[in-house]
Amino acid sequence: MIKVSVRWFDGYFESFECSEVRFGDSLLWMRLKNGTNRHIPLTHVRWYSVTPESHEPQPCTIESGRPV
């Protein structure tokens, strides 16, 4: 599971549990744990963090070789 934390420009802090995260120069896209999608324009966000970070190694299952 991926955890995304978002601090909005108005100071509001929000945290999400996601199965997939994609981010670019203007949009943060997340597939939430409940299966819905969330799109956040980065022009409204002060900062965000993704845990684990995208470059961190992920544990794999022995059977599939895919990230858990």
pLDDT in tens, 11-51: 999 999 999 999 889 999 999 999 999 999 999 999 999 99
What's the domain range around 41? 2-51
Cα first-last separation, the chain: 8
Q: Are 15 and 25 in contact (CB under 8 A)?
A: no
Q: Has residue 56 been placed in a domain?
A: no
Burial environment of residue 6 by CB neighbours within 10 A (0 to 12, 13 to 18, 19 or more)? buried
Domain count, the chain: 1
The CATH code of the domain that includes 17 is 2.30.30.520
Give the pTM.
0.74
